[in-house]
Amino acid sequence: MSDNIESVLHEDRKFPPSPEFSAAAHISSEEQYLDMWNRAKDDPAGFWGGLARENIDWFQDFEATMEGEMPETKWFVGGKTNACYNCVDRHVTTWRKNKAAIIWEGEPGDQRVLTYGDLHREVSKFANVLKKLGVETGDRVTLYMPMVPELAIAMLACARIGATHSIIFGGFSADAIADRNNDAEAKLVITADGGWRRGKEVPLKKTVDESMERSPTVEKVVVLKRTGGDVSMIPDRDYWWHDLMEGESADCPATELDSEHPLFILYTSGSTGKPKGVLHTTAGYLLGTTMTSRWVFDLKDEDTYWCTADIGWVTGHSYIVYGPLSNGATTVMYEGGPNWPDEGRFWEIVEKYKVNIFYTAPTAIRAFIKWGDEWPNKYDLSSLRLLGTVGEPINPEAWMWYHKVIGGENCPIVDTWWQTETGGIMMSPLPGVTATKPGSCTTPLPGVVPDIQTETGESLGANQGGLLVMTQPWPHMLRTLYGDHDRFLDVYFSRIPGRYFAGDGARRDEDGYYWIMGRVDDVINVSGHRLSTMEVESALAAHDDVAEAAVVGFPHDLKGEGICCFVTLKKGDGSEEMEKELIAHVRKQIGVVATPDKIKFAAALPKTRSGKIMRRLLRDIAAGRESAGDQTTLEDVSVLDKLRASDE
């Protein structure tokens, strides 16, 4: 059997950037892009070395831009720099000292603005606090916090003194925190009494207290007062943030760190067994996020930029904190849910702060569609000039809604493909250059050299689905899995030797545009045809009555695997007539080979708090088996119970 993945989704609409947008963009022509891409491919050391010297401030210049072959590549060897210095200090000696660095809004409606001068003061003070608590260069510090400015302050303070931060999303369980504390051998935990989410207090300190029973390496806990909820404070272990900061000196020079010094560990979500700690280092990661922020979002000094992710995920690391701040941008942070107190909250924030660049997830966009056009239509969104998507492939109909309703058909959409492991965006339209196609992440950025290959490493032609690999190293790639380098080599480099395998299937069309077909684990083998579940989901979502769909395989006596579709409608609960209509719709859109065997209607799908559908759990339901593995990242556990009840 061929190990190609059959591509059945076809999309021909194209949307070129306006001449006005192109004229003002950082990368403004196809010729400029191709020149950069070819230089980076043919002379990566010259390309990245030049960018590093132009865009990063160094305490000591590097001796070699790169050393070694993938996967054992080191970047900017011998150089000394500091990520916090590049994100904060270098701006306070310029006019940006009094520019807004962070605009923050809490879910209850409280607001704060921190200028670069404010950020420098607060970060320096907290860096001194960390030192007094015994944190040294090379120590690991866990952050388990709500989306408040102090989270950015804490991570930058860690970077300032060379402590490696490990941020855990503020929804993980005590067991998950303990596992990550132990894997990283964390010395300190920084948390808050609680945070706000859809009008309810999330009790963060209580969860940390439970985790401490199994976290022997953690010596102290710093607690930010956010909600005012009751918490227990253990003497000589727990300290209030405000008490430690009171009267602390704001004089704390940034530590000069080796370019390959570990900046952070981030544990990938959804894993079972031992946590997988992706490790990123200082200079390469910083350069990657700096340049991709500028190229992809076309960041200008006058922009107000909002990435709606949580900092607990890599998107927040790279595109709320390090990338925007290194560029001296104004970045928006919002604490709570998108539908609190109502479904217009995001659009209210866009109008209030005159947001120019808006970066969110396809899952959120599909929720906006279900909630109805009346919500965004209530607000003035005319400040928007660029839209972006992140986290998973976006289906073409959601892309078109985003283009029309949110962008007013005036905003380029940058559909970005990247991963925790890649550190920064790898493939994306360039908003001043690329004629976009709904659903495609289009072309690789300069320095990114991908290919579509078979299991044996053979390159595939146009519109042949296969394994997405990277054939050259890039500065912001992960260096290892913390404490387990053998696992790093096995997970990412063993499938096709000498190539980084992303875990995704993809195809490249006749224009050279890339289409992500989802995780190769999400391929269904129907009667010998290997089909991408994402493409079936896109076909379902193209139906006028469908808000969202998730497709999984299940054991089938005749076909080997059958196709089970979980569908959320915009209105109503579903019916036998609607089931027949959707099956006919998929057959018409894709063909007989993709005919669904089961359609299950669901008011909601099981999602993590970051908005990703947990297809592993849906596969269990489709197969009629109990679900094993961690479910603590689910936003709403009751969704699973309702799906199982409807199946009985």
> Among 384, 392, 323, which residue's Cα sits nearest to residue 532?
392
What pLDDT was estimated at residue 395? 87
Joined together, the tokens standing for residue 592 give 């007989």
- Residue ranges of the domains in the chain? 113-255, 543-647
pLDDT along the chain (648 residues), means of 10: 56 92 98 98 98 98 97 97 98 98 98 98 98 98 98 98 96 87 97 95 96 97 97 98 98 98 86 75 98 98 97 96 98 96 98 98 91 97 98 90 98 97 98 97 98 94 94 98 95 93 92 89 70 82 91 82 91 90 87 85 83 83 76 70 71
Distance between CA 298 and CA 518 in Å, rounded? 27
Q: Cα-flanking dihedrals φ and ψ of residue 44, to 5°? A: -60, -35
Residue 311, CA distances (Å) to 28, 224, 591 in order: 31, 16, 41
User: In CATH, what is the architecture of 543-647?
Assistant: 2-Layer Sandwich (3.30)
Q: Can you list the pairs that 372-376 forms with residues at least 24 positions away whose Cβ atoms lie under 8 Å?
A: 372/343, 373/405, 375/342, 375/343, 375/344, 375/347, 376/344, 376/347, 376/405, 376/406
SS3 630: coil
SS3 529: strand
Q: Beta strand 514-519 with 74-77: parallel, antiparallel or unpaired?
A: unpaired
What pLDDT was estimated at residue 536? 87
Q: pTM of the predicted model, to two decimals?
A: 0.87
Angle of CA points 205, 210, 214, to nearest 5°: 130
Query: Max alpha carbon distance in the chain (Å)?
Result: 73
Residue found by looking up tokens 């059945």 in the block? 8
> Among 172, 162, 127, which residue's Cα sits nearest to residue 264?
162
Residues 640/631, Cβ–Cβ less than 8 Å: yes
Cα 428 from chain centroid (whole Å): 14
User: Following DSSP, what letter does each residue of 367-415 receive, concatenated?
Assistant: HHHHH-THHHHTS--TT--EEEE-SSPPPHHHHHHIIIIITTT-S-EEE
Radius of gyration over every alpha carbon of the chain, rounded to an integer in angstroms: 24
User: Which amino acid, residue 6?
Assistant: E
Candidates 1.10.760.10, 3.40.50.980, 3.90.550.10, 3.40.50.150; CATH matching 113-255: 3.40.50.980
